[in-house]
Structure 1
Amino acid sequence: MLRHLPAVSFAPWAVSNKGDPLCLAEMSRHPVLNSSFHGLKFGFVCSNPTVKINRGISACTSKRPNHNRSKKKDEILPQNVDLPTILPKKKKKPFPVPIKKLLQEGRINKKLAQMGIERHLEPPKNGLLVPKLVPVAYEVVHAWKILIRGVAQLLHVVPVHACSECSEIHVAETGHHIQNCRGSTNGRRKGLHSWIKGSVDDILVPIESYHMYDPYGRRIKHETRLNFDRIPAVVELCIQAGVELPGYPSRRRTEPIRMMGKKVIDIGGLVEDPGTSPSTSPIIELDTHRAVDRFPPPTDREIPKIAQETVYAYEKVKWGVAKLMRKYTVKACGYCSEVHVGPWGHNAKLCGEFKHQWRDGKHGWQDATVDEVFPPNYVWHVEEPNGPPLTNALKRFYGKAPAVIELCFQAGACVPDKYRPMMRVDIVTPEDDEARLVA
């Protein structure tokens, strides 16, 4: 039961005067995309040649230009790919870097410290900026603004449902009937979700971090945690990578710090934090709080264009965060979702997850992954948003996709090729009475 569809690439959208869908083959006619996302190549494809969206808007795609084809033979994508397994909450997360490698590096640094030899640190480990990553940080901040604006505008036209008892969300006209709710009162509902209207925070999971003027200065203690502002972790990462935001200053060193083993022997002196001034800062544009109220609903003709710009912005942010995290250190708690941007984690006793009493509420810091700083928040993929809701008996035939990708797909955007296997767009979902006949 397979469905083979022709793979076509994305081209910007346009609508003729008669209301028929048209396609523009040249990317140069789309100034927003060219100015904001130049230098990146994403493979986009639509699962249907014509994508119907709300209010009767339709869009199509053109064929892939010959000059974009690679000389090598195109790789065949699998039909379906399983998502990463959900880690149990009553267990510590695995280390992104093998523990044997961490212990080996620790022994080497300890031996050098005993010999009185300083550690050789490269930027940004020594407190200095990496010049080639400063433009990347600015591109990520710009794409983050477009992503928040696009999601907020699409929520006016695409219905999103969120469960009031757990973190499940669903992008469709009605909520699904899959019995996978893990809320406190799921027993009386037999695992069914209690659906309410979703928001931007349900699509873009808010992961915040403390803003520090000097990441190598005094560590945040539990008693002083209220003296520091919390901003999105993506924004804090970009600030430490070189972005200058009014109201949120950051110390820019001209001399590298010196370390011997785990001990910092010279940080260039302690500098007093000038403090933040949120009233004069543009942080409101970089926050998801009440974003739907800040942006008006789009017109029918703007919906496909905004959806495709949002997909580009999502891929841009994900690419930029991964590139910055290869150099700049980001710590994550091994038990909860707390994230801290800097060489060392803070000492605030706010962890309440598995065996937090043994740690006195302190976080178990380890190296963070991209999905912990910028979580994808997978949702069920719906082929017919206006059709019948998803059933529990056929859940093994349904695919999933990041919430932003599914939202934009239902608004008329084409999604990258890499999301096709996890969305299972090439597999036909059987009827309820046919499910038992499928191997």
Structure 2
Amino acid sequence: MEPFTAWLVLWAKTQTLGWLARHWPKLLVGALVLGGACVFVGVTAATVVSSGGREAAAAETCTQLGYSVDDAAYQPPPLDQAPTIPTGGAVPGFGPTDGDKITNAQGIIVAGVEAGVGRRGLIVGIAAALQESGLENLDHGDRDSLGLFQQRPSQGWGTAQQIRDPRFAALSFFGGRTSPHFDPASGKASPAGLLDVAGWAQLPITVSAQSVQRSAFPGAYAKHEARATIIVDALTGGSGAARSVASQEPSTALQVGGEPQGVMTAADYRASGVDIDAFCSSNFELASASGAAAASQERIIPSGQWTAPLQARITSPFGMRFHPILHVWRLHAGTDFQAAVGTPIAAPTVGVVETVSWDSGAGLNVTLAHAGGVETRHLHLSQVLVKPGDQVRGGQIIALSGDTGVSTGPHYHFEVHVNGVPVDPEPLMLQHGVNLRAWS
């Protein structure tokens, strides 16, 4: 038996090393891509409301996610090394030797008017070109990047000749129905342009541009907004036709391909590639309200007894399952209950509030510490009514259920951990006289 075991171990080792030898380039690329995505998330979160008065809309979303927003206390991050705006040229925003750049900017303006992106869209386009090429129609760039927007033939933006055509490049950047890459079957351009980004008109300019460009420096576009605004106003102010179209501000409603769809929600921000969750947690504090209405529904129980966090039907039990969003088999470390947003959640027994936090997966959540090494965790909340360090009684309303984090819809997720290990809440609660299935 031992020789066979040794042979099996050697065989497995050989197979593993062989697989790594064949696939290490892919693994390296994957690690680099993941690292770049993390950088993008961090920078995007820091700049999500840094321009154009869009901080109010994002702050409102943070309020909906359970954060206490003090608009007066919020200061947008400073722009990093904002360049000096040239002067002395034939057009404001340009220097005396910038004739070619003025021509290129005019080409972008004409394409933007044709695409119907409005004044804000034109500013996004000019800011993107300022960052990518300095408004020069470059015949070189990183790898096969070319032209005003440094678009790449290998990424489907067109041939090298097409990309260096300012009108073609600009229409590609703006996307929508006038893009040379528009697909009538899907109703969008591929590669996607600005008009194909959900809610682009409500996003900060740096985020809108990054949603199209996918740059390695996602926060860089913000520093060009002031100059881009001067250029757009200068180049559209002298033309009646251009001015009448370009001066129109896009609706403040969510836009998909230019069609208004309603106000921006957290889900809309996430769909646009904006980590609104990270922005909220970085800039605002979790709400801690008096919860007078919820408190009226409290049923305080004697110390040492247990109660159900809420009385509702179980929709997903503890155990291994195929994740409905991530599409992988993984442990569902708690029990899900049917619950509309705003349903009161009770402390199952006496305890101490250990943490109140935000997690990209769990959303707004609360952890309570109880006797005997037991912790209960309450996930996907819309509002928290307690703060870390608070003593809570069994039956006390600690939060309101919600739909935050990674979620398929409003519900309540209840976890029990014993000495740091997640356990099935149902049998543990039964040991304390509580049948969580009583309402299923």
TM-score by length of 1: 0.24
Report the structure, 1 or 2, having the larger helix content.
2
Look at both structures and tell me which one has the larger radius of gyration over its CA atoms.
2
Q: Which has the higher contact order (CA 8 A, sep 6+)?
A: 1
Report the structure, 1 or 2, having the larger strand content.
2
